Amino acid sequence: MFYRTAGQFKTSYEADHALFPVRQDAYLLGFILLLAFVVFPLTASEFAFRALLIPVLIYSLAALGLNILTGYAGQLSLGTGAFMGVGAYACYKLLTIFPEMNIVIAIAMSGFFSAAVGVLFGLPSLRIKGFYLAIATLAAQFFLVWLFQKWAWLYNYNASGAIQVPNIEMFGITVAGPRAEAITQYYFVLCFVCAMTFFAINITRGRIGRMWKAVRDMDIAAELVGINLMRAKLTAFFVSSYIVGVSGALFVFLWRGAAEANLFDIPLSFRVLFIAIIGGLGSILGNYLGAILIVALPVIIGSVPEAFGIPIGSATVEHLNVMLVGALIITFLIVEPHGLARFWAMIREKLILWPFPH
C-alpha cells in the first residue's frame, strides 16, 4: 500500500534509469532528510549530538569511502585509518599555513592529499591481488602512523605531538574548535555528508561505477572486454581515499577536537571496515545503517542492563561491545552476507508486493 507502483509508467530509458524509479523512494528520502535537518536538531541533546549523531555521520562517510574501494571495486583495504589521518593532518597543515582559508575549502582540499597517498599505495594493486593486497595496505597503515609520529613538521613541532583544533569561524559563527556549539557542527557535518553521498551515488551509478563493478566481479574478464584495469583500480583508490580523507578531516576538526598519531591506528581501520561489512559491501545505504549500529551498540549495552537494575562497569561494557561486534560480524556473514542494506531491500520488495504475497 505504501509502496504501490501502479500508475508510475516509464516512457523512456532515461526515466527508467532515473535516481528514483519508484516515487515512494523519493518520498522516503525526503522524510529522512526532514528528520536529519529539522527533527533531530530540535529534539537532540548535547550528548546525543556529540556521542551519537556526529560520529554516525562521520563514520558512515569513512565507510562510504572504503565501500567504494572494497564493495564496488573489490580491492580489500585495511589502511582506512591511516588515510583518515592523512586527511586530518593535511587539513591541519593547510589551516596553519593559510589561516585565512575557509574551513570548507580546507577540508575539501585535504581530501586530495589523502587521495594522492591512496593512489601511491594503490599502485601495487596492479600487480598484487586479494590477501596480498590487503596486507600491502597494512604497510600504508603502519608506515603512515609512524610518519605522523616522527615527522614533527606535521604537528607544528608541538611538545605534545598532537594536533589541536583552533577556534575557526565561518560567517561569524564558530564552527570548529573548543568554542563551537554541537548543533553548528552537526549541520556542518551533515551538509558535507549529504554532498559526498550525492556524489558517491552518482559516480557508482555511472560509467566509472560500472567499470569498478566489472573489475570487482572478475578483473581478467573485465580486461578482456576492454576495461583499462589500471585506470579502474587507480580511480577507485583515488575516489575512495578522497572521501576517506575528508571524513578524517571532519573526524578531527568537527568531532574529536584534537588527535595524535595513535588515533589513526588499526582499530580505527577495522571499525570502519566492520561498518562497511555489517552495513553491506557494495551498497551506499548500508554504510549509514552499519554506522548507526556500531555507534549505538556500546550505548545500548551500557544502558539496557541498567534499566533492568543490573549496573555494569564501563570496562565490561567495552569488552562486551568488542565481543558482540565480533559475534555480529560472524552472524552477518553466515546469515546475510550482503549486510543490513539487504534487509531493507527485502522489506522494500515485500512492501511493493503487499498486500499480495506472490
Decide: is 158 part of the binding site for other proteins (CB under 8 A).
no
Closer Cβ to other proteins, 47 or 143, answer by number: 143
Amino acid type, 293: L
How far are the Cα atoms of 85, 181, 293 from residue 101, in angstroms, in the given order? 20, 21, 36
Strand pairing class (168-170; 173-176):
antiparallel
CA distance 247 to 88: 8
CA distance 347 to 334: 19
Closer Cβ to other proteins, 49 or 237, answer by number: 237
DSSP one-letter code for 68 = I
Closer Cβ to other proteins, 38 or 330, answer by number: 330
Rounded to the nearest angstrom, the gap between the alpha carbon of residue 12 and the centroid of all alpha carbons in its chain is 34
Closer Cβ to other proteins, 35 or 323, answer by number: 323
The binder of other proteins chosen from 150, 179, 205, 231 (CB under 8 A):
150
Determine the size of the site formed for other proteins (CB under 8 A).
46
Of 1-9, 25-33, 60-68, 127-135, the segment contacting other proteins by CB under 8 A is 127-135
Which backbone phi and psi does 163 adopt, to 5 degrees?
Answer: -100, 135
The binder of other proteins chosen from 120, 327, 351, 353 (CB under 8 A):
327
CB atoms within 10 A of CB 337: 11
Decide: is 326 part of the binding site for other proteins (CB under 8 A).
yes
CA distance 339 to 325: 14
Closer Cβ to other proteins, 54 or 325, answer by number: 325
Decide: is 310 part of the binding site for other proteins (CB under 8 A).
no
Decide: is 26 part of the binding site for other proteins (CB under 8 A).
no
Decide: is 136 part of the binding site for other proteins (CB under 8 A).
yes
Decide: is 131 part of the binding site for other proteins (CB under 8 A).
yes
Of 4-12, 17-25, 99-107, 315-323, the segment contacting other proteins by CB under 8 A is 315-323
CB 240 within 8 Å of CB 69: yes
CB 321 within 8 Å of CB 301: yes
For the CB of residue 60, give the shortest distance to other proteins in the complex, in Å: 19
Strand partners for 173: 170
Encoded one letter per residue, x for contact with other proteins by CB under 8 A and - for no contact, window 223-262 reads -x--------------------------------------
C-alpha cell at 238: 583515488
CB 60 within 8 Å of CB 288: yes
Of 13-21, 54-62, 94-102, 331-339, the segment contacting other proteins by CB under 8 A is 331-339
Encoded one letter per residue, x for contact with other proteins by CB under 8 A and - for no contact, window 186-205 reads --------------------
CA distance 166 to 257: 8
Closer Cβ to other proteins, 155 or 255, answer by number: 155
For the chain, the straight-line distance linking the first and the last C-alpha, in angstroms and rounded, comes to 15
DSSP one-letter code for 153 = G
C-alpha cell at 190: 551533515
Amino acid type, 9: F
- State which of positions 336-355 bind other proteins (CB under 8 A): 337
Closer Cβ to other proteins, 49 or 264, answer by number: 264
Decide: is 120 part of the binding site for other proteins (CB under 8 A).
no
Nearest Cα to 3, choosing from 32, 25, 35? 25
Any residues with CB less than 8 A from the CB of 230 and at least 6 apart, and which? 126
Of 10-18, 61-69, 97-105, 219-227, the segment contacting other proteins by CB under 8 A is 219-227
For the CB of residue 214, give the shortest distance to other proteins in the complex, in Å: 12
Report helix angle 54-67 to 229-250, nearest 10. 170
Of 27-35, 130-138, 194-202, 203-211, the segment contacting other proteins by CB under 8 A is 130-138
Q: Which residues bind other proteins (CB under 8 A)?
A: 76, 124, 127-132, 134-136, 138-139, 142-143, 145-146, 149-150, 218, 220-221, 224, 266, 270, 273-274, 277, 315-316, 318-330, 333-334, 337
